[in-house]
Structure 1
Amino acid sequence: MREIQQQVDHMIIHLGGYWRPLSGLARLLEEVGEVGAALYEGDSAALDEELLDVLVISTCLANQYAIRLDAPKTPDGDVPVHVTYYALVREAGEVARILNAYEGDKKLKATAKPGSLQRHLEGVQQAVFEIARTIGLDIYASIGALVEAKSSRDFGRFDHTPDPITENSVRTYPLRAEGRYWGGIEAKENESFNRYIEREYNLHRFLKIASVEGLDGFVISPPVSGWDLTAAKHELPGVDVQKENFGNGNFLVIRHVN
């Protein structure tokens, strides 16, 4: 699954960037519906394509929250396709419920715990793999060709949308591979920290969901002139703010304090 996540990430960057999460969710639910339509109509070619689309879009959502997906398990025994499809719909609905709380108008539950989004995205993919196995579709053999086709067919089709998983700060942060980090937009030279956080709306998203989603930190590359760490901590009470230096890179790392 790690290889698939990397393939999808490269494709999305090539196409211009990730969709906003709720837009990605709409696409996921659309594709789940199209899987149902293909099953209802008995269209095997369409079913293959739509299953792969569900896999790609659910992987996009996982990448956006820095989730490292586990490979689906091989089920014990055969389950009728329609029953597995019900499981796919159920898991997609749970993903929608969580993302509505993360990104929409629904409030986060006080009992929400880290890991739920990963579990339900993996549930979506488990159902995809089970249906694929039943109909004889080799997901691993097919995904590469799909990514290549989409990279060519959809180039220039979507507008660029900045995303905290694609910012240069997090892509160059040396410890990213050891944790789950988001990155901040590029700071302007001589820009004050309080002005920066006014326009960096993803930091507000991070502070809202970091503890429940299990994100480890928000990484910013300060301007060359730097920021006063005391001022940064004053603007963000209740979180841990640290300067970290690696080689020629300077980073400001914001971590949620439990």
Structure 2
Amino acid sequence: MKELQRRIDRMIIHLGGYWRPLSGLARLLEEAGEVGGALYADDRVALREELMDVFVISTCLANQYAITLTNQTTDRDETKEERSYYRLVREAGEVGRILNAYEGDKKLKASATPGSLQRHIEAVQQAVMELADMNGFDLFAEIASLIEDKSSRDFGRFDHTPDPITEDSVRTYRSYVEGRYWGGVKAKPFEEVSRYREREGHLARFLKIAEVEGLDGFVIRQPEPPFQIDRSIETDLQLAAPFAVEIERHGTDTFWIVRKQG
């Protein structure tokens, strides 16, 4: 599954980058509805295609939150398509509820459960695998050809959307350090930290969800010449406890890593 996530990530980068999460969510719900349409019409060809689309889009959402998915196997006790489809719709709705709190106007509950996004995305994929198995589809065997087809057919179709999982800062840092990290936009030489904070939208999202989602840190690559600090790094970045900045050097690069302390 980890290698499949990497291949889907490479495909998405090739096509122009990830959708904004709420746009990805809209596509997930659309495809879940199309699975229902294929089941209703008893169209097995369409069903295979829609199940693969649900699997790929849900994997993209997992990638955007640096989630490492586990392999989903079918539940042999599940024998009815309707029950598995209801599970797919229910779990897609749970993904929607969480992402609306992460990315939309809905506030996070104080009782938000750590790791819940991964659990519900994996439940979506388990329902997909059950439906595929009931209909004799070897979904994993067909995903590779889907990736090849989309990489050639859809190249240049989508506009590039900045995303904290695709920024050069985090991609470079993760070549040195493994973990669940997001990254900031490219900093300008001599840029004031407070000014960088004003135009850096990813950091606010990170601070909102890092604790509940279990992200390991937020990566900012030091420009050359370096940042200009007014008061302190934490103050200029508007960080509140329990977050602080750790400075790391890897190769020729200097990184500021915003991490939860304690």
1:242 partnered with 2:246: yes
What CA deviation, in whole Å up to 9, does each residue of 1:71-102 have, x standing for no partner?
A: 11331334201110000000000000000000
Q: Which runs of 5+ in 1 are unaligned?
A: none
- Counterpart-to-counterpart distance in 1, 2:126 and 2:204: 32
* 8 A contact 1:193–1:231 mirrored in 2: no
- Cα distance in 2 for partners of 1:174, 1:130 equals 34
Partner of 2:219: 219
Who is 1:52 aligned against? 52
For residues 198 and 237 of structure 1, the distance between their equivalents in structure 2, rounded to whole angstroms, comes to: 16
1:32-111 superposed matches below 5 A = 32-111=32-111
Find the aligned partners of 1:228 and 1:252 in 2 and give their Cα distance. Answer: 13
Note the alpha carbon deviations across 1:128-181, whole angstroms, 9 max, x for none. 000001100001110000011111111111111010000111111147753210
Does the 8 A contact of 2:222 with 2:254 survive in 1?
yes
Letter in 2 for 1:9: D
Once residues 93 and 176 of structure 2 are traced to their aligned partners in structure 1, the CA distance between those partners, rounded to angstroms, is 30
Cα separation, 2, equivalents of 1:101 and 1:176 = 32
Deviation at 1:228, TM superposition (A): 5.9
CA distance in 2, matches of 1:193, 1:179: 25
1:201 aligns to 2:196 (yes or no): no
Cα distance in structure 1, aligned partners of 2:174 and 2:77 = 44
Tell me the distance in 2 between the aligned counterparts of 1:152 and 1:175: 27
Q: Distance in 2 between matches of 1:148 and 1:51?
A: 17
CA distance in 2, matches of 1:62, 1:174: 17
In the TM superposition, 1:75-154 aligns within 5 A as 75-154=75-154
- Give the aligned partner of residue 187 of structure 2: 187
The CA distance in 2 between the partners of 1:257 and 1:35, in whole Å, is 44
Q: Which runs of at least 4 in structure 1 moved beyond 6 Å after TM superposition?
A: none
Does residue 166 (structure 1) correspond to residue 166 (structure 2)? The answer is yes
* Deviation sequence 1:54-84 (CA, Å, 0-9, x none): 0000000000000000111331334201110
Q: Which range moved further: 71-80 or 155-164?
A: 71-80
SS at match of 2:232: helix
Equivalent-residue separation in structure 1 for 2:5 and 2:177 (angstroms):
14
Matched, 1:255 2:259: yes
Q: Aligned residue for 2:232?
A: 231
Question: Which stretch has the larger CA shift, 41-50 or 228-237?
Answer: 228-237
> Match for 2:89: what amino acid?
V
Between the two proteins, what is the percent identity of the paired residues?
Answer: 62
SS in 2 for 1:19: coil
TM-score, normalised via structure 2 length: 0.95
Compared CA separation, residues 176 and 19, structure 1 to 2 (3 A)? farther
8 Å Cα contact 2:190-2:227 kept in structure 1: no
Distance 2:148 2:66 in 1: 23
Partners of 2:261 and 2:97 lie apart in 1 by 25
Aligned CA RMSD, in angstroms, stands at 1.4
Cα distance, 1:249–1:36 mapped onto 2, change above 3 Å: same
8 Å CA contact retained: 1:216, 1:255: yes
CA contact (8 A) 1:174 1:246 kept: no
How far residue 186 of structure 1 moved from its aligned partner, in angstroms, is 0.4
Distance 1:138 1:144, change over 3 A: same
Tell me the SS of whatever aligns to 1:149.
helix
Q: 1:177 to 1:114 in 2, by over 3 A?
A: farther
